[in-house]
Amino acid sequence: MQQATAETCAPSVCESSDLLLGFVNTGPLGGSPDTLTGPDDLTAWLARTGLAGSGTAAAVTGADAVAARELRDALVMIFRAHSGCEDGESALPAAEAYLQAVAHRYPLTPRVTADGVRMVPAQDGVLGAFGALFAAAADLAARGGWARLKMCKDPSCHTGFFDKTRNSSGLYCSSACSTRMAARAYRSRAKTAAAEAR
């Protein structure tokens, strides 16, 4: 299977990863506030993604916003697992079970063309938008890019990112975060060495 790297990032891979990362990055990241707190925020996210059909804004409810946050939290947990974060024994299975339990609410249907087959949401509106997230996950998984969706391991950042390293070993969203964490690790080692030398 072809691996999605910086060189081979096909448009559909970028489209799928951008949709999922844009969604998880609505969360409270590195001290910035949650931008998915209610129906208005969810309507704004729908508008940003272009997934909002006509009349969707009026149809977005508080329950939809709660469902969006639950879905987001479960995806964050999966992406944290991709980064090797340890969140306790039950956190990841709980997130996986949640995604499995709710997936049937957002059915997908295959769209078959001469160019290929794409899973698309069977519904429109908010349910269709959530379905598009599952379709994007399926698309990335089929292209070998699923495990490349990660959350930055810098605790002051925690931004979702697409790992473009060749061997899929990236842990930080940017060189700024990796430099900061390397400096922190260096200081910690120096402190330990100084304590041992006493």
Cα angle, residue 124 at apex, residues 68 and 18 outer, rounded to 5°: 55
Contact between residue 56 and residue 132 where contact means Cβ atoms under 8 Å apart: no
Which of these ranges, 56-64, 113-121, 154-162, 182-190, lies near Zn ion under the rule CB under 5 A? Answer: 154-162
Contact between residue 42 and residue 36 where contact means Cβ atoms under 8 Å apart: yes
Q: Is 177 in the site for Zn ion (CB under 5 A)?
A: yes
Single out the residue of 152, 162, 170, 181 in contact with Zn ion (rule: CB under 5 A).
Answer: 152
Q: Is 119 in the site for Zn ion (CB under 5 A)?
A: no
Q: Is 24 in the site for Zn ion (CB under 5 A)?
A: no
Helix (H) or strand (E) holding 111: strand 108-113
Q: Which is nearer to Zn ion, 47 or 185 (CB)?
A: 185
* Rg of the chain (C-alpha set): 19
Write down the least CB distance from residue 196 to Zn ion, Å.
31
Q: Is 52 in the site for Zn ion (CB under 5 A)?
A: no
Write down the least CB distance from residue 161 to Zn ion, Å.
7
Helix (H) or strand (E) holding 138: helix 125-142
Handedness of CA 169, 172, 174, 176 (dihedral sign): negative
Write down the least CB distance from residue 74 to Zn ion, Å.
21
Contact between residue 31 and residue 174 where contact means Cβ atoms under 8 Å apart: no
Write down the least CB distance from residue 152 to Zn ion, Å.
3
Q: Is 154 in the site for Zn ion (CB under 5 A)?
A: yes
Helix (H) or strand (E) holding 120: strand 116-121
Q: List the interface residues with Zn ion, window 155-174 (CB under 5 A).
A: 157, 159, 173
* Residues making contact with Zn ion (CB under 5 A): 152, 154, 157, 159, 173, 177
